[in-house]
Structure 1
Amino acid sequence: MGYPRLEINLEKIRHNVSRLTAQCSEKGIEIAAVTKVFCGDPKIAKVLVEAGATMLADSRIQNIKKMKELPVPKMLLRIPMLSELEDLVEYVDVSLQSEVECIRRVSEEALKKNKVHDILLMVDLGDLREGCWEDEVEDILEAVVELQGVRLAGIGANFGCYGGVIPERHTLEKLLGIKDKIESRWGLQLGIISGGNSNSLHLLWEDQIPEGINQLRLGEPIVLGIEDVYNVPIDGLYQDAFRLFGQVVEVKEKPSVPIGKRGIDAFGKVPTFVDRGIRKRAIVAMGRQDILLDGIQPKEKELILLGASSDHLLVDVTDAKTAVKLGDILEFTMSYGGLLSAMTSAYVHKIMIE
C-alpha cells in the first residue's frame, strides 16, 4: 500500500452533505457544493449531487470539465481569465463576474456558440477580494444588461477568504437591498442571491440569516465537518471523512537543536528551535512537496510536529502512548489548506472507501 495515503470515506461525505442540505433548505437556501478541494473528482462530486447539492462550484475549469456528465449546473468560483472564455462558455453554466470588459467578451463568445451564459455579479461588502463596490453596480449593469449571450442570474458576495471578514445579518441585508434596487431599476427577477460561503453558516444556526438569501457556497463543512468562523466541529457531521497517513522511515534519539553554525534552510528561512534536550524523533516519508506543512498535525496529541524539508517530516514521538518504530503508520489531521494540498499532490495516494 502506497504512502503518504489519503483515505476518502464517501458515505461520511454523503452524510455531511445531506445534513447541511436539510438545514439550509429549512430557510429556503440551496447549496452550491464546492469541489475544488478534491480537484473536481467526479466520483466524490456524484455523491454531493446524490446527497442534495443543486449546483457544483469550482475555481478551475479543468475540474469542471471532469464533472460535465453530472446533471446539475456548474459554477466557476474564480473570476474567469480572458484567455479561458471559450472553455468557460462551453463547460460552465454560471460564472462570478465583476469587470465590464470580461462580461462583454463572455457575451461575444456565447453568441459565437449560440448560447446564453449566466453571470453572478459579485459585490465587495468588505472582505476586499473579488467584487465591485455598491456604487459601481448601476454603471456596470447599464453597460451589460442589454448584452446578448449573457443573463444576469443573480448577485453574490464573498467573506473570510482574504480579509477574514465575518458576515453579519446587516451585511447580508445590504446585499438584499442591492438586489431590490436592481430588480426595481431594470425590471429583472434575480434567481440567485448568494450570501457567501461557509462563513455565513453561523447566521443560519443563530436564526440571523435574512430571508431572501437563497444560496450558500459550501466547502469546508462538507469535507471536514468544520465551521469556518470559529473553527469548531459541527454537531452531527463527520470530521474524519478524509484521513491522512504517513509511514515512519527513521526513529532515533537526537538533540532538539541542530549542532553547528546555522544559516537559512532549503526554503530560504532561518529556522528557530525549542531546546527540549535529547528527544526521540521519527521521520515520516512525507514533506513539503506532498503537503502544506502548516495544514497538518499528528492525530495523537502527545506527538509534536517539528518541521519538514521537501521530502521528510520530523515528529517528536518521545511521549507517544505506544512506542513508535520503523515502518509504523502515523495519522495526521488536516485543515482545509492541508486537505487541498494533499488532494492536489500527485505524490499522495488517494483511496476511496465506499
Structure 2
Amino acid sequence: MGKKYPCVEVNLKKVTHNAKTILAMCNKKHIDVAAVTKVYCAEMPIVEAILKAGVTQVADSRILNLKKFKELSCKKMLLRIPMISEASEVVKYSDCSLNSEIDTIRSLSKAAKGLNKIHNIILMVDLGDLREGVMTNDVVSTVSKIVKIENIKLIGLGTNVTCYGGVIPDSENLGKLIDLKLEIEKGFNLKLPVISGGNSSSLYMVINDTIPKGVNQLRLGEAIVLGRETSFGKTVPNCYDDAFILKGEIVEIKSKPTVPTGTIGMDAFGNILSFENKGIRKRAIVAIGRQDIRVEGLTPMDNDISVFGASSDHLILDVTDCKKQLIVGSIVEFKIDYGCLLAAMTSTYVEKYYNN
C-alpha cells in the first residue's frame, strides 16, 4: 500500500546523529541533557532514536506522553508546571517535576505519601521572561517552605527564557541562578545538584563557550530534532536541519490572478489581507492547511516554489517558476520550523513515517 498524504517523514538516523552530537557537546561542559519529546507527541520511534544516542532523561509537558514512557528505564521529567488535579499522576509517572507554587508542591507531597515515594522537584525561577517561575526576591522564602514539606526533595533550581518574552539567556541572567544556588546551599545546609539552565536557546552558550560554570542541565527539544539553537536561529555545528520533512499532494494546478476579485473582507480566520499584484501566476493547491500546520513555518525544498497562503484545508503555492513538471498528484516537500512541526505531529490528519 502506498503512502498517504499529507505526511511527515522522519529520518531517525539523523535524529540520533543530532542527539549524539549535542550530547557530546554538552557533556564536555559537564551538562546533562533532558531530551524534550513534546514537539513530536512522544512518538516512540523518535524517543528510541534519541535514547540510542545515549540520552538518559526525557522530558515532556503532558502526563499523557509521560505514560508512554512508563516501561523505559530512563529518568522522566514533567516540564509544565503541574496541575493540582493531576498530582497523583505526576508522582506516579515522573521522577522529577518543575514547580513554582507551594500549594501544588503540597499536593505533590500528599500524593507522594500515598504512593510511598519521594518526589524530586526543581524550583523554577523567573529571570525576566515572565513565563513560569518564582521572582528572584522570593526564591529564598519559597525554599524555606519547601524544605518543610514531607516526601518532597528539592534537587535544584531552573529557569525558562525565550519561549514567552523572547529574553535571550546570557551569563548575567543565568549567573543569578548560580548565585541563588550558593545562597540556598549555605543558608539551608543542603545540596542542590541540578541547575537547569533553560532550553535550546541556551545552547548557543555551549557552542561559544560562554555558559556559566555551574549550569549542569539543559532541556533540549528543537536543537535535537531540527538541529538549531533558538536564540539566534543558527544551525548547530555538525547537525541536520532536515530530519523532519513535510510532504503534501497537489490537488489543483491552475493559472489565476494574484489579486482576488470583489470587495475584500475577512478571511476564515478573521484577518483582512492585502495582496500584491503579480499578474497571472501558476498556482498549485496542496491538500493540507492551517488545521494541520503553521503555514509561516513552511519552506519549500524547491527554491523555485513559494507559498502564497492557506485556508484551513488548502495550501496555495506559486509554482510559476518551478522547473519541474508538476501535475495534479505530484508531491511537494517542505522543511518545517518548530511551530509547524508541533502542529503537524499533533494533527491526526497528517500521517507519520519513520525511516531508519
| Structure 2 residue corresponding to 1:285, chosen from 265, 268, 287 | 287
What's the secondary structure of 2:126's corresponding residue? coil
State whether residues 202 and 229 of structure 2, in contact with CA within 8 Å, keep that contact through their aligned partners in structure 1.
no
What is the CA-CA distance between 1:235 and the residue it aligns to? Answer: 2.1
Distance 1:203 1:138 in 2: 27
In the other structure, the counterpart of 1:4 is 6
| Structure 1 residue corresponding to 2:83, chosen from 66, 81, 84 | 81
1:116-131 paired onto structure 2 within 5 Å: 116-131=118-133
In the other structure, the counterpart of 1:236 is 238
| Structure 2 residue corresponding to 1:210, chosen from 205, 209, 212 | 212
Query: What stretches of structure 2 of length at least 5 have no aligned partner?
Result: none
Q: Output the amino acid matched with 1:139.
A: S
State whether residues 41 and 67 of structure 1, in contact with CA within 8 Å, keep that contact through their aligned partners in structure 2.
no
| Structure 2 residue corresponding to 1:177, chosen from 173, 179, 182 | 179
State whether residues 55 and 75 of structure 1, in contact with CA within 8 Å, keep that contact through their aligned partners in structure 2.
yes
Query: What stretches of structure 1 of length at least 5 have no aligned partner?
Result: none
Distance 1:325 1:78 in 2: 45
Distance 1:207 1:12 in 2: 25
Q: Output the amino acid matched with 2:286.
A: V
What is the CA-CA distance between 1:81 and the residue it aligns to? Answer: 0.9
1:125-204 paired onto structure 2 within 5 Å: 125-204=127-206
What is the CA-CA distance between 1:187 and the residue it aligns to? Answer: 1.0
The alignment's TM-score, normalised by the length of structure 2, stands at 0.97
What's the secondary structure of 1:147's corresponding residue? coil
1:333-344 paired onto structure 2 within 5 Å: 333-344=335-346
Distance 1:265 1:133 in 2: 41
State whether residues 45 and 67 of structure 1, in contact with CA within 8 Å, keep that contact through their aligned partners in structure 2.
no
Q: Which moved more, 1:97-106 or 1:40-49?
A: 40-49
1:274-313 paired onto structure 2 within 5 Å: 274-313=276-315
Distance 1:310 1:141 in 2: 47
Aligned pair count reads 354
Distance 1:42 1:26 in 2: 28
Q: What value does the CA root-mean-square deviation take over the aligned residues?
A: 1.0
Distance 1:42 1:245 in 2: 21
Distance 2:157 2:166 in 1: 21
The alignment's TM-score, normalised by the length of structure 1, stands at 0.98
In the other structure, the counterpart of 2:321 is 319
Distance 1:65 1:51 in 2: 22
What is the CA-CA distance between 1:269 and the residue it aligns to? Answer: 1.3
In the other structure, the counterpart of 1:103 is 105
In the other structure, the counterpart of 2:115 is 113
Q: Output the amino acid matched with 1:210.
A: P
